[in-house]
Amino acid sequence: MKVKYYKNFIEDYSPSMDQYAQQLIRYQKNYFKNLDISSYQPTLSSLSKFIPSDIWKLRYSRYISYPQQSKKLPRHDIAHICDQQYAHLYPYLNSKLKFITVNDLNPIVFQEKLSHNPKLIKFSLRSLKFYTKVFAISSNTKKDIVKFTDCPEEKIEVIMRAIEPFFNNDSIDNKITAKKYNIPANKKKILISGNAYYKNNFISYKILERLIELNQNIVLIHVGSNNYKNNISLKLENNIIRLPFVEREELPNIYKLADILLFPSIYEGFGLPILESMSCGTPVVCSNNSSIPEIVGDAALTNDHDDVSSFTKNILNLFSNNELYKKMIDKGLSRSKLFSINKFHHKLIEIYKDELNRLK
């Protein structure tokens, strides 16, 4: 069985999609030796250099160049598009069967809030109904696909994400890790991640403001912060450690160094940082919307995404109650075991094989 995974342009700068594609390829090449696993990453067309705008250059490449590149590829059994924004590739895939993963429909869910009509993404998503199977990474994402597209529900298969085995609760040397990233080892550490609008960093910073009014011995570690400032006061900034980029293999050390993951997200297609944190034995305080309840079950302290008081109270409870803290660690570790990377890939391959057998 020849399986080809279709990746994004490097110029898309989409780390989460790149990570998903790389995990599929690496794991299956290592553990499914009997399969022919390959991938294709498109390149910008030579014609695109004549387009002065970077935005239009990428649009031309996505909607004109990538389809032309795809149809020239050698014939294969399974084509799997790793990112829903490339659903429009469907008629150009030179394969027997065609699959696609839908991670989230963020731009459509928030089009009114953002005052932006994502016409090109909607155009791409019109092709979902033609795929052999559409993989949704959560039941909430499946619900959104049904709500916002014309893809038949029976074509959608929920296969929840999994993470690499190096996200585990093996012990680390906290002093060495703290020194490496210039993080104070003797302070309470709250971890947040990302800088997209739906990550709700504004609320995270409001929570930190409340916390340091009560206890100056608390810092916020912001992974993937980039240049996020949001008019932060100097007083607050002194309690923030910014790590704009951390290698994925190093992330478990940051989770283990942190005392709590704070995740007040407005919306998630899945919520990988929650699973990563639970797997590393770090308790989670998070919002209770979209896919998040599917991931955490009862293994996190949850409340509405904009409830600063409840978030603050939950964090203080964890800091002051050792029994509760240990209980949430154990619940998180137990919950994380439900998301087996081995089961994830075996289910995927099983679906490929079942669908191929239907053709015979």
323 and 195, same domain (yes or no)? yes
How much is the pLDDT for 228? 54
Q: Is 55 helix (H, G, I), strand (E, B) or coil?
A: helix
Q: What is the band of 14 on the pLDDT scale with cuts at 50, 70, 90?
A: confident
149 and 180, same domain (yes or no)? no
344 and 332, same domain (yes or no)? no
Is pLDDT above 80 for 283? yes
Is pLDDT above 80 for 233? no
Range of the domain at 234: 174-336
Structural domains in the chain (count): 2
Would residue 168 count as lying in a domain? no
Cβ count within 10 A of residue 236: 16
* Mean predicted confidence (pLDDT) in 50-59: 90
306 and 261, same domain (yes or no)? yes
CATH number for position 50: 3.40.50.2000
121 and 260, same domain (yes or no)? no
How much is the pLDDT for 172? 95
Q: Is 156 helix (H, G, I), strand (E, B) or coil?
A: strand
Would residue 11 count as lying in a domain? yes
Q: What is the largest CA-CA distance in the chain?
A: 68
Which residues, including other chains, have CB under 8 Å from residue 306's CB and lie 6 or more apart? 200, 203, 264
Tokens representing residue 210 in the block? 């409340």
Is pLDDT above 80 for 360? no
Helix residue ranges per DSSP H, 38-136:
54-60, 66-71, 106-109, 111-114, 119-125
149 and 11, same domain (yes or no)? yes
319 and 351, same domain (yes or no)? no
The enclosing H or E element of 145 equals: helix 139-148
Q: Using an 8 Å Cβ cutoff, are 247 and 220 in contact?
A: no
**Strands 301-303, 188-193: parallel, antiparallel or unpaired by DSSP?**
unpaired
Tokens representing residue 142 in the block? 């499946």
* Angle between the N-to-C axes of helices 322-336 and 308-320, in degrees from 0 to 180, rounded to the nearest 10: 100
How much is the pLDDT for 227? 58
Is pLDDT above 80 for 241? yes
Cβ count within 10 A of residue 230: 9
Rounded distance between C-alpha atoms, residue 207 and residue 196, angstroms: 18
Is pLDDT above 70 for 182? yes
Would residue 167 count as lying in a domain? no
Would residue 80 count as lying in a domain? yes
pLDDT digits (tens, 9 = 90+) for 121-159: 999 999 999 999 999 999 999 999 999 999 999 999 999
pLDDT digits (tens, 9 = 90+) for 95-117: 999 999 999 999 999 998 888 89
221 and 347, same domain (yes or no)? no
| Least confident span in 67-71, 164-168, 228-232 | 228-232
Q: Using an 8 Å Cβ cutoff, are 97 and 155 in contact?
A: no
Rounded distance between C-alpha atoms, residue 255 and residue 33, angstroms: 33
Taking alpha carbons only, the member of 246, 200, 206 closest to residue 223 is 246
* Mean predicted confidence (pLDDT) in 277-303: 98
Taking alpha carbons only, the member of 82, 86, 95, 48 closest to residue 67 is 86
Q: What is the band of 236 on the pLDDT scale with cuts at 50, 70, 90?
A: confident
Q: What is the band of 230 on the pLDDT scale with cuts at 50, 70, 90?
A: low
AA identity, residue 231: N
